[in-house]
Structure 1
Amino acid sequence: MSKINELVEQLATPILNDMNLELVDVEFVKEGSNWFLRVFIDKEEGVDIEECGIVSNRLSEKLDELDPIPQNYFLEVSSPGAERPLKKEKDFHRAIGKHIYVKTYEPVDGLKEIEGTLTSYNGETLTVAVMIKTRKKTVTIPKEKVAKARLAVSFS
């Protein structure tokens, strides 16, 4: 995690705790000629536009005070949406029983992209029930091989 991401996390956490919200992720990325600081927030019932606006205003004030980012950037505060990333331990535990998508650094059981139901997570491995054509299969993925994981919308 970059220093900017860490600092934004430190600044955002008390604001979010105050509002009973959770910090899901922070991204500081360049797209074209513009820089974007994206802060993704959530709570059990989901967040609304008003909550995003309040967090944006409060965080913007803190960032203006400290001025830690030398380049111009756009601050965006939003919900992670239906395909929320799974990054922290609690994200994986909360996703048990839900449909997920996992991309791995190297193939696991011949697959680099796995989509199915997360049946268990023990901190070291994810167990995912997948359908391959008409056959059910269980894939066990070592956590260190996970490049990206997120909730996935299932259309079945």
Structure 2
Amino acid sequence: MSTTQSERLRELLEPLVASQGLDLEEIAVDSVGRRRVLRVVVDSDTGADLDRIAEVSRALSAKLDESDAMGEGEYTLEVGTPGAERLLTEHRHYVRATGRLVKFQLADGGELVARILDVDDDGLDLEVPGVKGRKATTRRLGFPDVTRARVQVEFNRKDKKDMKEEEEA
């Protein structure tokens, strides 16, 4: 049986989030002064817009109100999606980051910034940007070779249409 409040909350809320077509990515209960804040992070393969966030927030609020999972005291419920520079910890995170630039911390102590081209059960196919006018290269990276990976913010990010046009040229 679960012992921590976060584990109990996950057991209570995960089926509800899944019924809304979303994945429960993270649950955190923090104390901010005298009040408590329950932060719930959700996502899906197609993302989660504000309407979906509002729907799941109302459903979670109702579920929490009918249970004693948060105890007697007041708390604030915050529901959102992962940030722009999300940490990739699950296989599905890598799949969702296909086409994105990612900074990898490697098991050998090195570091690599590359764009994810494809993901399978064993690892990643990457495009490593060229330096000083050189062409980009491809590289295969196995999951055991990655100790940490985080999506990078790109202000001039190519969308899938632009990438497809480059491949055809």
State if a TM-score over 0.5 links the two structures.
yes
Q: Which runs of 5+ in 2 are unaligned?
A: 158-169
The residue number in structure 1 matching 2:163 is none
1:1-156 superposed matches below 5 A: 3-19=4-20, 21-28=21-28, 30=30, 33=33, 35-69=36-70, 73-80=75-82, 82-96=84-98, 98-104=99-105, 108=109, 110-111=110-111, 114-131=112-129, 133-134=131-132, 135=134, 136-137=136-137, 138=139, 140=141, 142-143=143-144, 145-150=146-151, 152-153=153-154, 155=156
Maintained 8 Å contact 1:37/1:76: yes
How many residue pairs are counted as aligned between the two chains? 150
Question: Which structure is higher in strand share?
Answer: 1
60 and 144 in structure 1: CA distance in 2 versus 1, 3 angstrom threshold: farther
If the length of structure 1 is used for normalisation, what is the TM-score? 0.66
Q: Which runs of 5+ in 1 are unaligned?
A: none
SS class of match (2:129): strand
Post-superposition CA distance 1:6-62 (Å, at most 9, x none)? 43333333323433x212511315476465322223345543333322222221232
Give the CA RMSD over aligned residues: 3.5
Higher-Rg structure is 2
Amino-acid identity (%): 23
Maintained 8 Å contact 1:85/1:149: yes
Maintained 8 Å contact 1:39/1:78: yes
Post-superposition CA distance 1:77-136 (Å, at most 9, x none)? 12335555433222323433x11323427555x32xx33211343434334322252343
